[in-house]
Structure 1
Amino acid sequence: MKKSLFILAFLATTALGGLHAAYAGQAPGAASAPDVPVSHRDRVYAAEQFSNTVSVTDPADNKLLGVIRLGDPQPGNLSPLYRGQVLVHGMGFSPDHHTLAVVSIGTNSVTFIDTATNTVKHTTYVGRAPHEAFFTPDGKEVWVTVRGEDYVSVIDGQTYEEKARIKLPAGPGMTIFSPDGKYGYVCSSFNPETDVVSVADHQIVGKVKQDSPFCPNIAASADGEQVWFTLKDVGKTMVFNARPPFNVLKSIDTGPITNHVNLIRTPKGSFAYVSIGGRNEVKVFDTTDFNLVATIPVGKLPHGVWPSGDGTRVYVGLENADALAAIDTATNKVIATIPIGQAPQAVNYVPDAVPEGDGRQNLQPLGIAGQTAHLQLNAVKGGKASAPTSVSLFDQGLAQVLQASVTGLEPKQSYVLALADKADGTGNVQPLASFMTNPAGAAIVNAVGPIRQIVQGEDKTPRRYLVILAGNDARTGTPVQVQAD
């Protein structure tokens, strides 16, 4: 009897062990890599484009440890002698998890940071408006998509000097690699084409037609089977075969301002998590049949997405909430919201980023980076029902950077964000920014000024109200959305 129980226990243990091994490994690593349980050695990083900081969070207790300050907010960064970074935006990390590569769009730079000490090791300057950077799986190269031009800048992974350029159609958006290091997948933000590049010789070996020209983000599965990318302008997410012939497997309507996607493996299966900025939610898809399995409300304008080293959590940067949302993948519910810097973009979860010590060296408090006001615009009475437009006013001293995540408008139409005398959007109107909506009827709109003081009537300033009107600067029409409070 005891022998039979022992055999049954052995078989059960073997089966469970095989199950764990089958689901081990999280992107961008290979499925064969072991999962890394969440611990105080791990870090979650977010690149914050208006405070020009990188926030550093301990996922073991979901606590912000501080920020790495790469630059100053406005107006300090307008000086001709300014030496810091502007528009801190993209992010990637080395295979040994010891180096973070941070892209700043405004200063055309890639900053390499030591994860153990939070110190800058080197800054490399590349071409106009780089967007994202990632290390090859062997760590020998860093590929930087130079979105303002027409190439990938290939940087040596040890010296951090540019060693080559891979010529592509204009506007490469992001690169991610197959887990075996054979292919680099480069989607485009200006052309409806994703290119597959051989890592060994930097030659284009495949092309994938995008449903639209604007891809900001791409992810490859740990099993080497699939590549997922988002299309921000039309609100879609596409999937293609990670191996030749690189054929499209699925195109999914995901929602306005579809931002980032990332892939996880759990005992329940393999899933794609997609941030939908215009809906303030993350959608979860089964990668086997592409069915939607969960919709998770997370907060205003979700952007970057990255899983923990064991797939038990997914972290999401909330661009218009200055926060990081932690999702429990077993329940697909938000278990923590952590205040961070202004307008987080890319997010990286780096397991074992700090092998020893507390990893708090050279971190600074949030300071002004934690100061933001939030507003909402709703459709006028009888107007088109939609998710509300969220507005964030990021403090930059006496002025603010305004960012509006506009949704619920007519596709490909001209509108004006303005200040109006009256709460219903009528009276004297002062335009702030003209914009055109994308095919999903959405847009990200920016302006700069002492806007918080005006719309909240501070310091005896005559109060005015944010409004969106049809038309353009030369001729504005009727209000379509008005400030909620």
Structure 2
Amino acid sequence: MKTWKTVFLAATMLGTGSAAWAGQAPGALSSPDIPISHHDRIYAAEQFSNTVSVTDPVDNKLLGVIRLGDPQPLNFSPLYKGQVLVHGMGYSPDHHTLAVVSIGSNSVTFIDTATSAVKHMTYVGRSPHEAFYTPDGKEVWVTVRGENYISVIDAKSFEEKTRITTPSGPGMQIFSPDGKYGYICSSFNPETDVVAVADHEIVAKVKQDSPFCPNIAATPDGKQVWFTLKDVGKTQVFDARPPFGLLKTIDTGPITNHVNFAQTANGSFAYVTIGGLNEVKVFRTDDFSQVATIPVGNLPHGVWPSGDGSRVYVGLENADALVAIDTATNKVIANIPIGQAPQAIAYVPNAAPNPDNRENLQPLGVAGQVAHLALAPKQRTGDGKVPTSVSLFDQGLIQILQASVTGLQPKQKYVLALSEHADGSGALQSLAAFMTNPAGSAIVNAVGPIRQIVDQGTNADRRYLVIASGEPAMPGEAIQIETR
């Protein structure tokens, strides 16, 4: 009984104090861990349903979604006021406010974690990507990826107070646990900038091996910064302190998405989501050795630790699900259905003072409707793996198709198309043209009544998804074909 009271009081004090970054990322290692409780929440930003899902980690149960916008075609209206492409996410040090970035509507939505109510909307520049609070809770930095700056928002007034000019396409920013530095990687230029938080001045630059970094994270001990390179399938590590030297480059795999950390009794570990392999890879932060490979499901994207480091949660972009990983065993222990195409996720300890409050949560509805397909080479390798996963996110009469494509030649032109026959023969009707990245992979999107066309329940009108070389006007032979 005494132990239970001690844990309860510690959690309560952390939940009501001025700052509650636990001893897990993005906080400082010196802060106490926060045991998992019904007051904790896991949030996921869901790009195609324009929702934020809310999950209780104790029983890994979806509680509902915060609906920030409508699906297509409702959001095509010139009078539409909702959000489009809900994508990025950060939260305040007191755990009272969630900042949610919507790429298509150029906005940051500030949500009260206690009530799940929207308390303010701030509009920024073109195509913002991620937002996060400074460790003192006074500012929110938003990467305006469609332009060339960080929008610095006052956390009380929610108004932009200044801008930090960067190379075009800043991808994401995170802060050193002591709040001294901000680290800003780029999605369009091979450069990560280090900024002094006190005066918003760039004090150092770190070379990226490629121009496409979507995600960056700092270790809780304040010693390292890790960032991912989605186009070349690498993860790089540099010293979080001057002179900010590069420490390690790791070949992690195609469509390397996000990275985050868990501090456990066995040490400090980096969890990296590898979308093209449908895996999470785990590395020690002391010697960078890989200690585990965890199969998780289609296109893992966002990743975040629990407040005590006992679990790591991963959003599956092409499976509309959240998976929980036990960090002691590095095994998946839960799979939770959520909204469409989860991107960033955040585990927020003590977010809900009243864990039974559901007043602003709604059921999944259409956000829970999705069909899954897969494409494989015409000549199967026999290893049982399919290199391309396809999700058809239901939007009512139409679907958004998203294909996580791997296994192709790098920097080559291809076409995602509909074929007359299952073997890819016959006339091809192009859905989307794309070029693979240096790792031979790509994320490809199309919109239309595609599920009805490829549904195996239809008869003579049915067609089959394929990937062919070339361009829409002159596609070549099908290379990958639909498999079931």
Query: Secondary structure of the residue that 1:453 maps to in structure 2?
Result: helix
Does structure 2 conserve the Cα–Cα contact (< 8 Å) formed by 1:453 and 1:461?
no
1:464 aligned partner: 463
The root-mean-square deviation of aligned C-alpha atoms, in Å, is 1.2
Shift, 1:357, TM fit = 4.2
Does structure 2 conserve the Cα–Cα contact (< 8 Å) formed by 1:150 and 1:172?
yes
Shift, 1:384, TM fit = 11
Structure 1 residues 218, 338: closer, same or farther in 2, change over 3 A? Answer: same
Structure 1 residues 149, 431: closer, same or farther in 2, change over 3 A? Answer: same
Give the Cα separation in 2 of the matches to 1:147 and 1:356: 36
- The yes-or-no answer on 1:353 pairing with 2:390 is no
Does structure 2 conserve the Cα–Cα contact (< 8 Å) formed by 1:419 and 1:432?
yes
1:305 aligned partner: 303
Shift, 1:264, TM fit = 1.4
- The yes-or-no answer on 1:404 pairing with 2:393 is no
Query: Secondary structure of the residue that 2:135 maps to in structure 1?
Result: coil
Give the Cα separation in 2 of the matches to 1:81 and 1:107: 13
Q: Which runs of 4+ in 1 moved over 6 A?
A: 383-386
Letter in 2 for 1:484: T
Letter in 1 for 2:482: Q
Equivalence map 1:90-105=2 (5 Å): 90-105=88-103
1:432-465 CA-partner distances (Å, limit 9, x unpaired):
0000000000000000000001001556571100
2:451 aligned partner: 452
Equivalence map 1:23-38=2 (5 Å): 25-38=23-36
- The yes-or-no answer on 1:291 pairing with 2:289 is yes
Letter in 1 for 2:339: G
Does structure 1 conserve the Cα–Cα contact (< 8 Å) formed by 2:374 and 2:386?
no
Give the Cα separation in 2 of the matches to 1:414 and 1:229: 28
For structure 1, the residue ranges without an aligned partner over 5 or more in a row are: 1-23
Shift, 1:475, TM fit = 1.5
Give the Cα separation in 1 of the matches to 2:458 and 2:50: 28
Query: Secondary structure of the residue that 2:276 maps to in structure 1?
Result: helix
Shift, 1:383, TM fit = 7.3
Structure 1 residues 357, 279: closer, same or farther in 2, change over 3 A? Answer: closer
Does structure 1 conserve the Cα–Cα contact (< 8 Å) formed by 2:304 and 2:345?
yes
- The yes-or-no answer on 1:256 pairing with 2:233 is no
- The yes-or-no answer on 1:63 pairing with 2:61 is yes
Does structure 1 conserve the Cα–Cα contact (< 8 Å) formed by 2:301 and 2:343?
yes
Does structure 2 conserve the Cα–Cα contact (< 8 Å) formed by 1:393 and 1:401?
yes
- The yes-or-no answer on 1:427 pairing with 2:426 is yes
Of stretches 145-154 and 458-467 in structure 1, the one that deviates more from structure 2 is 458-467
Query: Secondary structure of the residue that 1:116 maps to in structure 2?
Result: coil
Does structure 2 conserve the Cα–Cα contact (< 8 Å) formed by 1:26 and 1:264?
yes
Equivalence map 1:19-418=2 (5 Å): 25-381=23-379, 387-418=386-417
For these two proteins, the number of residue pairs brought into alignment is 462
Query: Secondary structure of the residue that 2:366 maps to in structure 1?
Result: helix
Letter in 2 for 1:474: A
Give the Cα separation in 1 of the matches to 2:450 and 2:354: 45
Letter in 1 for 2:223: E
Shift, 1:397, TM fit = 0.6
Does structure 2 conserve the Cα–Cα contact (< 8 Å) formed by 1:317 and 1:347?
yes
Does structure 2 conserve the Cα–Cα contact (< 8 Å) formed by 1:279 and 1:387?
no
Give the Cα separation in 1 of the matches to 2:290 and 2:406: 22
Does structure 2 conserve the Cα–Cα contact (< 8 Å) formed by 1:278 and 1:387?
no
Letter in 2 for 1:405: S
Letter in 1 for 2:52: V
Does structure 1 conserve the Cα–Cα contact (< 8 Å) formed by 2:316 and 2:342?
yes
Query: Secondary structure of the residue that 1:368 maps to in structure 2?
Result: helix
Give the Cα separation in 2 of the matches to 1:387 and 1:202: 46
Query: Secondary structure of the residue that 2:89 maps to in structure 1?
Result: strand
Query: Secondary structure of the residue that 1:77 maps to in structure 2?
Result: helix
Shift, 1:388, TM fit = 2.2
Query: Secondary structure of the residue that 1:279 maps to in structure 2?
Result: coil
TM-score, with normalisation over the residues of structure 1? 0.94
Give the Cα separation in 2 of the matches to 1:90 and 1:426: 41
Does structure 2 conserve the Cα–Cα contact (< 8 Å) formed by 1:283 and 1:295?
yes
Shift, 1:355, TM fit = 2.1
Give the Cα separation in 2 of the matches to 1:125 and 1:460: 48
2:10 aligned partner: none
Give the Cα separation in 2 of the matches to 1:477 and 1:262: 41
Does structure 1 conserve the Cα–Cα contact (< 8 Å) formed by 2:27 and 2:220?
yes
Letter in 1 for 2:257: N
1:365-424 CA-partner distances (Å, limit 9, x unpaired):
000000000000011116798642000000001100000000000011100000000001
1:484 aligned partner: 483
Letter in 2 for 1:226: Q
For structure 2, the residue ranges without an aligned partner over 5 or more in a row are: 1-21
Query: Secondary structure of the residue that 1:36 maps to in structure 2?
Result: coil
Does structure 2 conserve the Cα–Cα contact (< 8 Å) formed by 1:275 and 1:303?
yes
Bigger Rg, which one: 1
Letter in 2 for 1:150: N
Shift, 1:359, TM fit = 3.1
Does structure 1 conserve the Cα–Cα contact (< 8 Å) formed by 2:375 and 2:386?
no
TM-score, with normalisation over the residues of structure 2? 0.94
Give the Cα separation in 2 of the matches to 1:314 and 1:358: 24
Give the Cα separation in 1 of the matches to 2:63 and 2:262: 26
Give the Cα separation in 1 of the matches to 2:460 and 2:203: 61
Q: Percent identity?
A: 76
